[in-house]
Structure 1
Amino acid sequence: MQRRLVSSGSYLEPQIGFSRAVRVGDFISVAGTAPIGTDGKTDVVGDVYRQTVRCLEIVRTALEDAGGSIEDVVRTRIMLTDAKTWEEAARAHGEVFKDIRPATTVMEVSGFVDPDWLVEIEAEAICTPKG
């Protein structure tokens, strides 16, 4: 099967050796996605809900760039620096996935590369023919 790499354009991708997403056949895996604004800086510092919204926007774009859609998502992982904020992240996740309902894990991590990031999200999708 052909392997398709999807780039976000980050200068870190070649340095670290990762892609925003990878598609192999009908499967798409979206890497841990941080709340990065269009200016390359952390978006909405201090707001878990809005950072989660931003992460999900980036996930949606990566899926579409790989030829999939948010409706194809079968698993997500929400990583938080503070588990007590899970309801804020879950609210944003629920707004996107309320009807799709992928398998989801919420976990606390000790931190991210940028200390302003409060959340990162990973997603996996299986693209099936529409119709």
Structure 2
Amino acid sequence: MDDVRQTVSSGSPLEPQIGFSRAVRAGNHVAVAGTAPIGEDGSTVGPGDVHVQTARCLDLAERALQEAGASIGDVVRTRIMLTDVSRWKDAARAHGERFASVRPACTFVEVSRFIDPDWLVEVEVDAVIGQAPS
């Protein structure tokens, strides 16, 4: 699989319109695109709750990693984008619940807004398969 490019779709109708994939695997590298707190029904999960929204984003990112043949243990970097960085501790708690033993490089940044005004957070994840911590 080292020379193959694999794309993972979330099924979003925006993917073909924008021209992106939920995740892309190239060799043993996996990049998961900005992942929003969207429920199975297309609505925002946890309106007003940064912790719940971050956990949902991480659930979706983990699903994309798995479809690409990676796991949470392979994650080497995360980016947490918030519309209000003063609420970073709520996002950090969800991140810590998922990555306490993995401890990837992590950045928190504030953005002015997302496509949907109910989204308070989006998460990006990068993984290198076979680099799980020992």
**1:44 Cα offset (Å):** 1.1
Amino acid at match of 1:93: H
Partner of 1:46: 48
Structure 2: which 5+ residue stretches go unaligned?
none
Partner of 1:115, secondary structure, is coil
**1:41 Cα offset (Å):** 1.1
Partner of 2:19: 17
- Aligned-pair RMSD on alpha carbons? 1.0
Partner of 1:79: 81
Partner of 2:110: 108
What do residues 25-63 of structure 1 show as CA deviations (whole Å, max 9, x unaligned)?
Answer: 000000000000010111111100000000000010000
**1:129 Cα offset (Å):** 7.7
Partner of 2:97: 95
- Scaled by the length of structure 2, the TM-score of the pair is 0.95
Partner of 1:3: 5
Structure 1 runs (4+) deviating above 2 angstroms are none
Distance 2:106 2:131 in 1: 23
Distance 1:86 1:8 in 2: 26
How many pairs does the alignment contain? Answer: 130
- Scaled by the length of structure 1, the TM-score of the pair is 0.97
Distance 1:56 1:94 in 2: 11
